[in-house]
Every structure is written in C-alpha cells, then in structure tokens.
Amino acid sequence: MFLTKLFRTIKYGFLRFWREGSLSMATVAIVFLVLVGFGGLLLFNAISNKTLGYIQDKVDISVYFKTDANEDEIIRMQKSLQQMAEVRSVEYISKDRALEIFKERNANDPKISQALGVVDANPFGAYLNIKARELKDYAAINAYLDKDAFKSEVDKISYTESAAVIERLKKIKTTVEQSAFVLLIFIVATAALIIFNTIKLAIHSNRDEIGIMRLVGASNYFIRGPFLVEGILYGILGGVMATLVIGGGIYYFSPYMRIFVPDLDGWNYFISNSFRFLAYEAFFGILLGVVSSYIAVRKYLNI
Amino acid sequence: MINFQNVSKIYQSNSHETIALDDATFRILPKEFVSLVGKSGAGKSTIIKLLIAEEKPSKGKVTMGNYEVAKLKLKELPSLRRRVGVIFQDFRLLPNKTAAENVAFALEVAGRTQEEIEEYVPQAMEMVGLKDKMRNFPKELSGGEKQRVAIARSMINHPDVLIADEPTGNLDPINTWDIIKLLLKINELGTTIILATHNKDIVNFLDRRVISLENGRVIRDEQKGKYILV
Ligand SMILES: Nc1ncnc2c1ncn2[C@@H]1O[C@H](COP(=O)(O)OP(=O)(O)OP(=O)(O)O)[C@@H](O)[C@H]1O
Ligand SMILES: [Mg+2]
C-alpha cells in the first residue's frame, strides 16, 4: 500500500517533469549552474587547503651550529624550544647524521663521495629543524632565537621567508572563499526563486487536473507529492551534471595543477572523493529543489 | 443519511452579498433518487458544493451519515470524496489519459493495487457500455461517452451517493436518455442519486422525489414530483 503510493507519486512526478519539457530543462540548467558554483567552491577549498598545507609543511627554521659546538648545549636548546607553546616539533640532526644525509643525497655523484673520502674530519655542524604550530608563530620563535645567549654556539639561522608569503596566500584564499560564498548565496537564492516559479507555473497549468484529483478523493500527499518529486528531480539531475562537468574540468586541469604542487593529483583526489562529492552535490541540489518546491506547494496548492 | 438542517450559504463578493441558499432543510434517505430542480442561480450547485465540502455553510448543518461535513478535517476529506461520486456537465476528464486510465486514476489515488485496477476498471467500463473504447482518449469520445466514462470513474470506489450536477447539460436527447437510464440502473443497484437538472422532461419521466428551489429556498419537496415552472 505504502510502496504503491510512493511508486505512483514518483511516477507522476516524472510524468510532470517530462510534460513540462523545456521549462524543466531550463530549471535543471539553473540548478546545474548553482551546483557547479557550489562544487567549485568545495573543490577550491579542498585543493587550496592541500596546496597550502603542502607549502606550509616545507616551512621551517633551521639553526646551524658551529662544527665545534657543545652537544649538551644543543640538546638544552632543543628542550627549551620544545617548551614553547608556538613550537610543534624540534628535530635534532647531529653532526654524524648531517654527514649521512649529505652522503645519501649525493650517493650518485662519485666526485663528491671521493671528495668526502679525502677529508677525515666531519665538515658538517649539527642543526635543529624547528616547525611551528602556526605560520604566524615563526616570528615569535625567530625572536626567541635571536637572543644573545645562543650566539656563541650558533653558526647561522635560516628562516624561510615564505612564511610571510604563505600567510598572505592564506588571507587571499579566505577572501576568495568568502566572496565566492556570498556570490553563491545570491545564485542559490535566484535558483530557489526559479524552481519556486516553475512549480508555481506547474501548479497553475495543472489546476484542472488538481481539481479532478481532489474530486476523486486524492489525498494531500498524493496531490502534492509529485510536485515535490519534480523539485527533487531538478536537484538530482543538476547535481549529477555538475559533478560530471567538474570531474571533466579536473581531468583536464589536473596535469597543470601538478606543476605547482607535485603532491597534488587533482584527478585522483577527485576520483577517490567522487562519491562523497556527488553525494554533497545531490544533497544540496535536492535540498534546494525540495525546499523551494515545498514552499511553492504550500503557497499555491491549498487543499 | 444526508441531512440539511437550516442551511444557508451567503457568498460575499466585493462588499455585496449573494444568498445562494436560504434556510434549506431536507433529508435524503439511502437509495433514494432525488432531483434538485430550479432556475439558473437557484442554488442547486451550491447544495452539491456543500455536500462535497467544497464550500462551508454560512449557517446550519450539513451531515452525511454520522459526520458533519463542514467539521471534517482536511485529512478526512479525501475519504469523504471517495464515498461520494460526483459528475458534472463538463465531464472533467483528464485529456492526456485514456478512458480506462481516467477511471483507473480514481483507484490510484485511493491507493489500490495494480491488480485491483486491472480487475475493476474493465468491469466499470462494461457497466457503462464502453468496454470497446477503453483505450480512446477523451477527445476521441462523444459527449455521452465522456459522461459515461465520468460515471464509471465516480462509481469505481463504490460510493454510497452519486451526485450529478447537470450531467446531461451538454448532451443531445439520445445521449441524455442513455445517461438517465444509466443513473436509474446505478440507483437500482443501491446507490443514492442526487440529480441537479433543468430538464423538465427528465424530471417528469423519472417520477421520483423532486426538491424545487427558488432563489435559494426550498419551495417544494414532493415524493413523486413534477417539474413545475414558477
Ligand atoms: N463562488 C461564488 N461567489 C459568489 N457568488 C456565487 C458563487 N458561487 C455561486 N454564487 C451565486 O450563488 C447563487 C447560486 O448559485 P448556484 O451555482 O448554486 O446556482 P445553480 O442553481 O447551480 O444554477 P445553474 O443552474 O445555472 O447551475 C447564484 O446567484 C450565483 O451567482
Ligand atoms: Mg449549477
């Protein structure tokens, strides 16, 4: 009984969608545009987060010690740095480890291995790799390291300037996202209005049929249901189309993205998240369709 | 089983009032065949609208069985309308459905299964003598045939009452008599019939109960009535 009713409601929703023809298509197109915008924003957020994370991970402060620096001093400095709230990690690379790393890196270069063989003593100093919790924390750590107390042991401090640049990038990203969001709200409102109008027109042009439905004893649910189904269809179709188009776009641009961020494989990222992405798109599309058609039905389909 | 108790209906439209029904009281028993007669604007359709809860009375009570029609909740209206079949002068068929689909529609909205639909629809089409035109669309049917489809649809849920508002208004005499004979047959099978009509010949032929209306008032209610022009 319930399934029969549900099935019929869906059937009549499809029929109505089909009969409306070009109006349905135009409405789907609008929903599609909104969802491309929505999906684009989602992706922009995901990709820029990933990119920034990648760049951010490359930022650190390295403190190089003199070759004859006292190891106890270095450990003490590491400990004191680790106590700082701003510091996420401090990695200690001893003289020997520094040499090893250098050797590993240049294993393929016989000249360098040869040159190293000639020198008995280890020419490398130990160093500390410091990573901050947040980009803005680097300034504080830098100031701390700048104290005279450390000067005797330290050879030089390399502070990657990119921190400030990244901070700027982040601000730009936030601004872009915020303005896109505001813009999206406007498109969403427009789309909602268009669906609302489509359903309103559908109700208007079907008022004879609705009258007959009432006459033969159709329940509210049976009369209203198909219009809601129509709204849901706009959402689903728009969502699927938007996902396909965005997927195509990513497939096309993925190689270019990798130039900027080697870690970022846009296409694979999209594929591995495509179901979730489609679910978001469909959910948002259905929400849009249901809410606007429900309001239209409530307003224009008084039973 | 149908009871009008001092019922008045006043329509308000841009500050002027129309009294469509004025203190009407009558009772219709099960299996009766009642004609509502009166000039245009006398209030016949108003009585029908009150019966199917399309309008609410301004005064008085309309009851059907144990229910006061105006007090039914929105949710209860569909089941009332399934217990009352209605046909109109303009047939009110869905143009994009075949005759059989139009009839099936009344079962669909009642939540009947596909098997039931396949069983009952041909029976109903048989009853109205249109079994060979089941697949025709309304535009491929004559007026009389369209009205018979509408009757099949109104009867398919086995209502207790069949209300006919000027059902023969658009039909030629031959089709008119076919429809009236069909209504008589339905009445013999046990359904109450309420027929609103202008047609003097029909009323006189029927020789059944006649309620005469004039300006919204019941002016005559006779068991074996005639159509009397005032
Ligand atoms: N919705 C409405 N608003 C205002 N007045 C109305 C409305 N419906 C009907 N009336 C008025 O109520 C009166 C009775 O109308 P009703 O439709 O009951 O007449 P009727 O007897 O069915 O006439 P006919 O034989 O022409 O169908 C008429 O004067 C009509 O103009
Ligand atoms: Mg009338």
Q: B108 and A8 in contact by Cβ < 8 A?
A: yes
Distances (CA, A) of A76 to A71, A139, A158, B114: 9, 21, 20, 84
Closest CA–CA distance from residue A11 to any residue of chain B (Å): 12
Looking at residue A303, its pLDDT comes to: 59
CATH number assigned to the domain comprising residue B22: 3.40.50.300
Q: A72 and A122: one domain? A: yes
A202 CA to centre of ligand 2 in angstroms:
28
Q: Are A64 and A127 in contact (CB under 8 A)?
A: yes
Residue numbers in chain B where pLDDT is lower than 70: 229-230
Kindly state whether residue B204 falls inside one of the protein's structural domains.
yes
B165 CA to centre of ligand 2 in angstroms:
7
DSSP of A223-285: HHHHHHHHHHHHHHHHHHHHHHHHHHHHHHHHHHHHHH-TT--HHHHHHHHHHHHHHHHHHHH
Kindly state whether residue B128 falls inside one of the protein's structural domains.
no
Task: Domain of residue A189: give its range.
Answer: 2-55+166-300
Looking at residue B4, its pLDDT comes to: 96
Count up the domains in chain B and report the number: 1
Closest CA–CA distance from residue A16 to any residue of chain B (Å): 12
Domain boundary among A122, A139, A159: A159
Q: Is the pLDDT of residue A159 over 80?
A: no
pLDDT per position as a tens digit, B103-143: 999 998 888 899 999 999 999 999 999 999 999 999 999 99
Looking at residue B107, its pLDDT comes to: 92
Looking at residue A148, its pLDDT comes to: 67
Pick from B2, B16, B185, B183: nearest CA to B80: B2
Answering whether pTM is above 0.90, one says no
Task: Domain of residue B192: give its range.
Answer: 2-93+159-222
Residues whose beta carbon lies within 6 Å of some atom of ligand 1: B 11, 13, 18, 20, 38, 40-46
Q: What is the average pLDDT across A265-281? A: 81
Q: Is the pLDDT of residue A160 over 60?
A: yes
Q: Are B167 and B179 in contact (CB under 8 A)?
A: yes
Domain boundary among A159, A191, A208: A159
Residues contacting residue A127 through CB under 8 Å, at least 6 positions apart: A62, A63, A64, A65, A93, A98
Q: A104 and A237: one domain? A: no
Looking at residue B13, its pLDDT comes to: 86
B44 CA to centre of ligand 1 in angstroms:
8
Domain boundary among A159, A178, A208: A159
Q: A8 and A25: one domain? A: yes
pLDDT per position as a tens digit, A165-224: 777 777 888 888 888 889 888 888 888 888 888 888 888 888 888 888 888 888 888 888
Q: Is the pLDDT of residue A28 over 70?
A: yes
Q: Which residue of A has its CA nearest to B76?
A: A219
